[in-house]
Amino acid sequence: MHMADALISPAVGATMWAATAGLIGYSSKKVKEQLDDRKIPLMGVVGAFIFAAQMINFTIPATGSSGHLGGGMILAILLGPYAAFLAMASVLTVQALFFADGGLLALGCNIFNLGFFPCFVAYPLIYKKITGDHTSQRRIMAGAIIAAVVGLQLGAFCVVLQTYFSGISELPFGTFLLLMQPIHLAIGVVEGFVTAAVIIFVWKSRPEILITAAKSVPIGALSIRKVLLGFLIIAIITGGVLSWFASSHPDGLEWSMFKTAGVEELENPEKGAHVPLADLQAKTAFLPDYGFKTNPGGHETETSPSWPAVDPGTSVAGLVGGSLTLLLVFLVGIALRRRAVKI
């Protein structure tokens, strides 16, 4: 559900950038109050895992579409809403800058759509209400599925609204909406099951992590080495190998656009803010589309995509992207921790 710049007008893009920047500032302030040295590496490895997990598109049967894990609910349940929002912002920033996944103008929209609703709506108002004070495997399963569906439905609706108010894509509001919501309902159900599986793993290993996140308190002296190592290993395997098995079908947003307008991608306007931002992204994205750059002057023979798509470029992108995400989140955590100590 990563929006491209071609869907967004500069006015809508700037508005969502401002809203997202405000949320980042507020989240940073709140994180300083609950951050300790043990939570920083947890933020980093979970962020790296979410980066890798988002590379894997799973097929939605009988639709010709696919979806990928958003990860906002996993982040919120394990880190708390504020640290989760910062981690999601870091994941999406790395994707946009270095892998050209989502536009720079639309980055504020993408962070808001994929971060705000799971972290600040679905997690506190749905997941925490369902799991309650007496957490059980059944409650985690129910809470994760319902919260993931609601968060993704709200995010998909926001994509339609942002596209409509931008007024540059000519996608009919009603048709686009009627396609976006059902396909992301199916994607949300799958995400809910994946979220539940991840959270149950942590709950069985270190249930205190979920408790400290829910109460917004520091982890303290709790040993979380097993959980850190588990997420790190899974992130490496997912980004380096399992990414080969991603579905080649268009994702929910691309599928909805194709069914609405007959194209999966729209061309950027050749004037205004879109041009310099596209040029900047072309310079920073050293592994565009999660693979090695191709020679624009070369002639390639078109072949049917193979599956699994065994590609060293994909593996490198998964490992490098996960490492960059871990590093960025870690640096954000260190900076906030130092500011909290000085205060």
pTM listed for this prediction: 0.95
Q: What is the mean pLDDT of the chain?
A: 92
Residue 143 has a pLDDT of 97
In the numeric block, which tokens belong to residue 7? 């869907």
Token pair recorded at residue 262:
């007959």
Q: What is the DSSP string of 204-224?
A: HH-HHHHHHHHHT---TT---
Residues 37-50: pLDDT tens digits? Answer: 888 999 999 999 99
Residue 59 clears pLDDT 80, i.e. is over it: yes
Class of CATH domain 5-256+310-342: mainly alpha
Q: Is the dihedral of CA 235, 334, 332, 32 positive or negative?
A: positive
Residue 296 has pLDDT above 80, yes or no: no
pLDDT at 341 over 60: yes
Q: Flag whether pLDDT at 22 surpasses 60.
A: yes
**Backbone phi and psi for residue 103, each to the nearest 5 degrees, phi listed first:** -80, 160
pLDDT in tens, 176-218: 999 999 999 999 999 999 999 999 999 999 999 999 999 888 8
pLDDT-based confidence at 270, cuts 50/70/90?
confident
